[in-house]
Structure 1
Amino acid sequence: MTNTVHPFNTDTDVISEGNKAHSTLLNHTKPQPIAIEGSGLYFMLEDGRKILDAISGGAAVNCLGNGNKELTEVFVNQINKMAFSYHQSLGNEAAEGLANYLVEKSDEDFKSAVFLNSGSEAVEAAIKLAREYWVKMGQPQRTQIISRFPSYHGTTLGALGVGNIPSRRDVSEPLLAKNVYHVTSPQYKRQSYVNKTEEEYSLRLSHELEEKILEIGSENIIGFIAEPVVGAALGVMPPPKGYFPLIKKLLNKYGLLLIFDEVMSGSGRSGGDGLFAYKNKQISEDLDLVKPDILTMAKGLGSGYVCISSVLSNEKITNKIRESGGWKNSHTYQNHPVNCAVARKVLEIFERDNLITSVNERGEQLISELKEATRDIETIFDVRGRGLFVGVELIGSSTLTPRLAARVKDKAFENGLLIMAISGTIDGVEGESVILAPAYTVTKEQISEIVRLLAKSIKEVIIELDCKADQQI
């Protein structure tokens, strides 16, 4: 059994003064601080404190911030017009409009879309779609999937199965599918051999994948699933240079599907030229080559105002599913008209207000100022990211209780800053990282304040640990 520390460090969250000892909600052993109001990038707590949100509500979701009245208006108008229609009985114009919009923005790399309620549901549905495609192609023996380690793709049983973070799947391990294989998830700075370039490291990982394909037998494999920018599993990790072009060439060589999980890194979060991370030249240099067969979206798609995710499929998969009688996947709230109407407005605001440009500019500012503010902190191993999706990796041992990332998160909260803390970001056990993913509407001044508060918090945690160490000598 591996170390089972929860990677979200929920048991070490700061508790606001006066909170009851236990919450009626099941998720946490201690009650969370209670937010009573949100406006833009700030939360007001029940104890009167004001918190600057550097993680879009907690998990890179609320990309337009709280209090957007345009989204509120669309929400209410759609409910008044038509609150619900079951997709098996009736279509609705909101879902059709959102699907058309996403297909158009993909430059028709995709030909169809479906809308679900969470990232986990989307990944689960993507796996089922890929399997059904091969069955309808007359190749039912294709039952195996290749993923990466460490990786995280969601919390349903199917999504947990393709992901692999020991602390998130240990309890459910006996229930998970045994047809998933894992290859190395890229960590160039930690794993590369001495004097080897990123391109050489990528080539080594492509050789590992090819060996795994040959071991399993390409005729038995459904495909390969990966995040374009790894989120929670590695504490925000962009791919090394040349990685995805090499991977896609291999998949094409052996006739395997590529599933991109853009639940966290997509919807404009990673910057580049648009909504999709796979279209970012800093992620997949050969844009003509690296096109996924299936793609999942969530989080920023609805900006937290609604619960929505999406699965998009390319022409060959769409055509095969349609000509074979339709997709065997159905959820009660699939293609929900209110969710789809709000998500469409979210995407329209991205485009109208040129927020992708803001993501790129503020993301560059965030990384640059972070590197400058923390360059003398030896505990920091790396600062990296794409767009407004940034990770700060710390050097800390899994034997420390509470873990280092959790201490930094708690200290940051004391100082008025909300961030995400993840432990196990090297191998599922070792590794300490904090993630920053502010709303796309973040200002220059707020970026600088986020940097100031985070650097201050890290330094204060280090001083506290050094004092405790001195006291024990």
Structure 2
Amino acid sequence: MSPIALPTPPETPSLTPHLKPTTLPPHTTHTTHTTQTTHTPTAQLHHATPQPLAVSAEGMYVHLADGRTLLDSVSGGAAVASLGMGNAEVVQTMTDQAAKMAYAYHQLLGSGPGEELAEWLVSRGKGRFEAAAFLNSGSEAMEACIKLCRQYWVEKGERQRKYIIARFPSYHGNTLGALAVGNVPPRRDLYTPLFSDFIHHVSSPTYKRSHLPSESEEAYSLRLASELESKILELGAENIMAFVAEPVVGAALGVMPPPKGYFPAINAVVRKHNLLFVMDEVMSGSGRVGELFAHDAVAEGVTPDIMAMAKGLGAGYVTISAVLVNPRVAEMVREAGQWKNSHTYQNHPVNCAVAKKVMEITEREGLMENVKARGAQLLEELTAALEGVKGVYDVRGTGLFVGIELDAPADLKPRMAARVKARCFELGLLVLGLSGTVDGKQGETIVLAPAYIATPEQISDIARIVVQSVTECAKEL
């Protein structure tokens, strides 16, 4: 098997004039390696086998310590590095703010960058949001959303409200509260004794696998809304704080856009019973699916009361997440006198300054239009090339957020997603391979989430390497 040579990245002046793409020799190839190599012991606490060591990165290319260069099709690994690496404008913003004022504790001082980022995001909501606050990870943001739901109802005098309804499978973060609300068994089960009984789950929308014969997407969506209402009646609407959902399900299902009619049907039930609607846009937001707010792309006009953002918000240059609230929630917090959530690095000035610059560049350079165009290209090329390939169950996505679901036994060792991921790596491509994307045990999905600056040529390279990897791994079974 011969690895595919990575092409010289083309210049992209219309998208990122400040970036200087990595230049690779025109016939560069990469020695085939496996990820099961022997590594020098490390002082870091992480996987038993440390990951390959990255030493530098530019644009969508990552350079390893052993001399190899990889094309990054997952924005650093989890749909984070939306502008690619080495954006000089972002780095300068970081340096300037650190020199001006590196830190301000939010309980004592406000900061210009925090105010400016909040105003920028709220203004793009066109009235749906009233206020924002900034934390340091998607998990922190979702934990804060959970706590905010509780504070909202307590301040309204409805202390009996303690339940949250979320979906299975779903993933909402790695803190205990977020893990409890999410439900991906391999991530969650170790900690089950630490969870309370306040979380309940209904079905995530998986139309292709779960619809009844001749059942339309709209009818299927109504059936899931009926399931939610049954759960609400079981628990008592007066006892429930909120319903939580991702507009596009990320890690739990391997990129799953909702079926037609889903969010309107669900929203009707949520509003009928006066619950808060929390949307988790940690992975799918910040432009990843072609709109600043992911629900604008897929929720058919439905908007949240409380929303979390992260990942692409800081594009990997800083660790930042956001919680946005609508006027209803903001008013209640302000009447209470305080949002009862505080972290040392909340509203960090450097993080906020960088995130605002990332968002400004994304908007100024028209990158969300590029996300839509390149996402359509990626889906089209993958769908055409993988048609009829053994074991390919589904190719789906929205914007530059794409999943390729594979049918393979759960007892296969290594799992199919891991095999394809390793083969892509050998051929010079970083992808995300997820197992258990049907029910936590069954299901194999390759996730692609290239940077918003991706060119047509890079998208074709990604598609070609993925197709080769999937085809070769399928033939080996």
TM-score calculated relative to the size of structure 1: 0.93
Match of 2:333 in 1: 321
> Equivalents in 2 of 1:423, 1:417: separation in Å?
19
Match of 2:181 in 1: 162
> Equivalents in 2 of 1:262, 1:268: separation in Å?
10
CA contact (8 A) 1:37 1:44 kept: yes
Distance 1:16 1:172, change over 3 A: closer
AA of the residue aligned to 2:334: R
- Confirm whether residue 284 of structure 1 aligns to residue 299 of structure 2: yes
Q: What SS is found at the alignment partner of 1:172?
A: helix
> Equivalents in 1 of 2:359, 2:350: separation in Å?
14
**Cα shift at 1:17:** 5.8
> Equivalents in 1 of 2:386, 2:466: separation in Å?
9
Q: What SS is found at the alignment partner of 1:26?
A: coil
Q: What SS is found at the alignment partner of 1:170?
A: helix
> Equivalents in 2 of 1:17, 1:49: separation in Å?
15
Distance 1:16 1:378, change over 3 A: closer
Match of 1:470 in 2: none
Count of matched residue positions in the alignment of Structure 1 and Structure 2: 445
Equivalent residue runs for 1:52-63 within 5 Å? 52-63=71-82
Match of 1:402 in 2: 414
Q: What SS is found at the alignment partner of 1:115?
A: strand
- Cα deviation, 1:445-464, whole Å, max 9, x if unaligned, reads 00000000000111121222
Q: Which residue of the other structure, out of 59, 84, 90, is the alignment partner of 1:65?
A: 84
Match of 1:6 in 2: none
> Equivalents in 2 of 1:97, 1:260: separation in Å?
23
Match of 1:33 in 2: 52
Equivalent residue runs for 1:190-209 within 5 Å? 190-209=209-228
Match of 1:4 in 2: none
- Cα deviation, 1:51-106, whole Å, max 9, x if unaligned, reads 00000000000000001000000000000000000000000000000000000011
Match of 1:422 in 2: 434
Q: Which residue of the other structure, out of 159, 162, 177, is the alignment partner of 1:140?
A: 159
Q: What SS is found at the alignment partner of 1:167?
A: helix
Q: What SS is found at the alignment partner of 1:452?
A: helix
Match of 1:246 in 2: 265
Match of 2:116 in 1: 97
- Confirm whether residue 15 of structure 1 aligns to residue 35 of structure 2: yes
CA contact (8 A) 2:153 2:161 kept: yes
Q: What SS is found at the alignment partner of 2:397?
A: strand
> Equivalents in 2 of 1:233, 1:18: separation in Å?
31
- Cα deviation, 1:348-373, whole Å, max 9, x if unaligned, reads 00111000100000000000000011
> Equivalents in 1 of 2:415, 2:359: separation in Å?
38
**Cα shift at 1:175:** 0.5
> Equivalents in 2 of 1:324, 1:61: separation in Å?
35
CA contact (8 A) 1:14 1:32 kept: no
CA contact (8 A) 1:16 1:34 kept: no
> Equivalents in 2 of 1:176, 1:442: separation in Å?
41
**Cα shift at 1:23:** 3.2
Q: What SS is found at the alignment partner of 2:244?
A: strand
Query: Any unmatched runs of 5+ in structure 2?
Result: 1-32
Q: Which residue of the other structure, out of 330, 335, 348, is the alignment partner of 2:360?
A: 348
AA of the residue aligned to 2:161: R
> Equivalents in 2 of 1:14, 1:118: separation in Å?
31
- Cα deviation, 1:367-412, whole Å, max 9, x if unaligned, reads 0000011112021000000000000000011110111001100111
AA of the residue aligned to 1:407: R
Match of 2:246 in 1: 227
> Equivalents in 1 of 2:110, 2:127: separation in Å?
22
**Cα shift at 1:191:** 0.3
Match of 2:64 in 1: 45
> Equivalents in 2 of 1:246, 1:376: separation in Å?
34
CA contact (8 A) 2:35 2:422 kept: no
> Equivalents in 2 of 1:164, 1:172: separation in Å?
12
AA of the residue aligned to 1:304: G
Match of 2:424 in 1: 412
- The RMSD of aligned alpha carbons is 1.1
CA contact (8 A) 1:227 1:260 kept: yes
> Equivalents in 2 of 1:279, 1:81: separation in Å?
36
**Cα shift at 1:16:** 8.1
**Cα shift at 1:14:** 4.5
CA contact (8 A) 2:39 2:49 kept: no
- Confirm whether residue 294 of structure 1 aligns to residue 306 of structure 2: yes
Query: Any unmatched runs of 5+ in structure 1?
Result: 1-12, 466-473
Identity %: 56
